[in-house]
């Protein structure tokens, strides 16, 4: 009548055989044998994939590190074997832009700030290193440190002004700053930048290990180290309390302000850190290409970074890196394909579009956004979600030893 369990009822806590008593568990009698559950599916027991996932970045880093020792030839993908200087240089440039996209994602994907002037801080690293080595005659390590420090300070100063605005006004202010930088470089004020011709890097004062075609592998490892550093920094910041505040700013800035935090300070921190990471990429890029050229100051480079992040998946750990690597590879390879004899022999209606790398890249980007709205990173998550029922069915198949991890 009152709904209270009677003695002997399975729901009675006093019943030793009930689920609440010491003799029962989940309604099973002490003598009953519960159904076997594979360890991969037990609550609180991570599966094999979850157990090895923390080690996957390290495994990938090792695989990329030993790539210069590989003689594998991939016709159509690269012009030579993997350890060829031309292939290693292309891969190194892809790694640099993968790191650059990951740093930009700290600003765009994780803080929600759309900046059209991020190329300015990358250019500060490139031109700063080149000018300090070639014009001032400083050692490379001093020039690199000063270039990164200068790019970081520049980002902090310009960010302090630009972040007084929001939305489209912020984007336009950052674009204006970038255009000023492009004009200063093109006009060659002070005779430092070389104007439209650019400024070749004086390699006479560089370490021998970073000079010459025979040492391309060392530059490749330097680019890989830069990418690893950027990914590590962005991941650590995103996983910290500061990163959670940045995510809150991206989702609802007013809520962060209501909690008593200063949104301006956190946005300035994100802006400055992203600018410093971009400057570091500029140092590596300067060594890779052997100098500086005005095209790196253009707003087109920032737009390319935005495309890389969206292509890979903003706000994800590996999406921007993947987007940066894929975009840069296609940008370089499609140029060679567009000028090849195979494209030149096509009818005019096909030869025209296929000879323009930007047309092909734009088409691929539209298709990727349409079919994979979460980016390449979202594609991998969707594939894993679709395969999960199959994996669980295989793990739970009859006759499988639940304690086995074969």
Which has the closest alpha carbon to 278: 382, 397, 401, 174? 174
Residue 384, domain member (yes or no):
no
For the cut 80, the answer to whether the pLDDT of residue 136 exceeds it is yes
Tokens of 382: 């969707």
Spatial separation of the C-alpha atoms in residues 389 and 33, rounded to whole Å: 26
- Asked if 316 and 377 touch (Cβ cutoff 8 Å), the reply is yes
For the chain, how many structural domains are there in total?
1
Using a pLDDT cut of 90, give the percent of the chain over it.
58
Say what the pLDDT of residue 400 is.
53
- Asked if 92 and 220 touch (Cβ cutoff 8 Å), the reply is yes
Tokens of 325: 């690597």
SS3 content of the chain, % helix, strand, coil (to 5): 70, 0, 30
Please spell the DSSP secondary structure of 46-108, one letter per residue: --HHHHHGGGHHHHHHHHHHTGGG---B-BTTBSSBTTSHHHHHHHHHHHHHHHHHHHHHHHH
**pLDDT tens-place string over residues 6-30:** 444 544 444 544 444 444 444 444 5
Which one has a higher pLDDT value, 75 or 236? 236
Spatial separation of the C-alpha atoms in residues 7 and 71, rounded to whole Å: 77
For the cut 60, the answer to whether the pLDDT of residue 78 exceeds it is yes
Residue 220, domain member (yes or no):
yes
- Asked if 256 and 245 touch (Cβ cutoff 8 Å), the reply is yes
Residue 160, domain member (yes or no):
yes
**pLDDT tens-place string over residues 184-221:** 999 988 889 999 999 999 999 899 999 989 899 999 99
Whole domain around residue 231: which residue ranges? 79-303
- Asked if 310 and 367 touch (Cβ cutoff 8 Å), the reply is no
> Within a 10 A sphere around the Cβ of 314, how many other Cβ atoms?
23
For the cut 60, the answer to whether the pLDDT of residue 42 exceeds it is no
């Amino acid at each position: 009548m009152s709904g209270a369990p009677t003695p002997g009822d399975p729901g009675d806590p006093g019943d030793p055989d009930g689920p609440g008593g010491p003799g029962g568990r989940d309604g099973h009698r002490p003598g009953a044998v519960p159904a076997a559950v594979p360890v991969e599916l037990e609550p609180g027991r991570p599966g094999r994939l979850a157990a090895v996932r923390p080690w996957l970045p390290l495994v990938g880093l090792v695989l990329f590190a030993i790539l210069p020792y590989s003689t594998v030839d991939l016709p159509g993908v690269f012009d030579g074997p993997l350890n060829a200087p031309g292939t290693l240089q292309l891969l190194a440039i892809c790694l640099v832009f993968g790191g650059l996209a990951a740093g930009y994602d700290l600003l765009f994907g994780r803080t929600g700030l759309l900046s059209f002037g991020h190329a300015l801080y990358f250019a500060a690293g490139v031109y700063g290193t080149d000018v300090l080595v070639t014009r001032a005659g400083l050692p490379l390590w001093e020039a690199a440190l000063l270039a990164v420090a200068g790019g970081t300070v520049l980002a902090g100063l310009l960010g302090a002004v630009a972040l007084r605005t929001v939305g489209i006004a912020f984007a336009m202010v950052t674009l204006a700053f970038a255009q000023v930088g492009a004009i200063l470089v093109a006009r060659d004020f002070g005779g430092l930048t070389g104007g439209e011709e650019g400024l070749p890097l004086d390699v006479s004062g560089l370490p021998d290990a970073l000079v010459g075609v025979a040492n391309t592998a060392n530059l490749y490892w330097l680019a890989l180290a830069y990418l690893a550093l950027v990914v590590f920094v962005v991941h650590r910041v995103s996983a910290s309390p500061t990163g959670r505040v940045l995510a809150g700013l991206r989702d609802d800035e007013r809520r962060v302000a209501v909690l008593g935090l200063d949104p301006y300070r956190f946005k300035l921190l994100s802006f400055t850190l992203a600018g410093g990471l971009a400057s570091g990429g500029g140092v590596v890029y300067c060594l890779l290409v052997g100098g500086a050229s005005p095209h790196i100051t253009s707003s087109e480079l920032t737009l390319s970074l935005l495309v890389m992040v969206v292509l890979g998946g903003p706000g994800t750990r590996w999406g921007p890196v993947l987007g940066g690597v894929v975009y840069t590879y296609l940008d370089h390879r499609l140029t060679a394909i567009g000028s090849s004899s195979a494209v030149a022999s096509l009818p005019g209606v096909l030869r025209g579009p296929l000879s323009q790398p930007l047309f092909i890249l734009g088409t691929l980007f539209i298709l990727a956004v349409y079919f994979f709205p979460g980016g390449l990173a979202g594609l991998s998550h969707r594939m894993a979600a679709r395969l999960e029922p199959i994996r669980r069915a295989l793990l739970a198949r009859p006759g499988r030893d639940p304690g086995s991890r074969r």
